[in-house]
Amino acid sequence: MNTIVKKYDAKVDSKKRITLRDSKYDYYSVTTYEDGSMSLEPKVLMSEKDISLKKGYNAFLQLRENAKNNGTAGMTLKEINEEIYGNER
């Protein structure tokens, strides 16, 4: 069972925003439910230096493969110059 650390009421402003007090994170993943309730989960973004070149290139290859598969489904795919990304495998 989760322990409640803080509980407070918040009012939506004219631009449909609320302020999160003492927030530990800059980004949150928001889930909205049919009953109008919402949940926030912290989202931690990785900096570019945290991702190795090899890992980044492998992610690029996966995205390219997905794009090719989507291309066969009728979507278009622009040519990709692999020299920009190197020839590591």
pLDDT in tens, 43-87: 877 666 666 666 677 777 887 787 777 665 555 444 444 445 555
Output the pLDDT for position 45.
77
Alpha-carbon distance of 55 to 30, in angstroms, equals 28
Q: What is the DSSP letter of 45?
A: P
Q: What is the DSSP letter of 61?
A: H
CA distances from 2 to 9, 33, 47, 55, 69 (A): 19, 20, 30, 35, 43
pTM of the model: 0.45
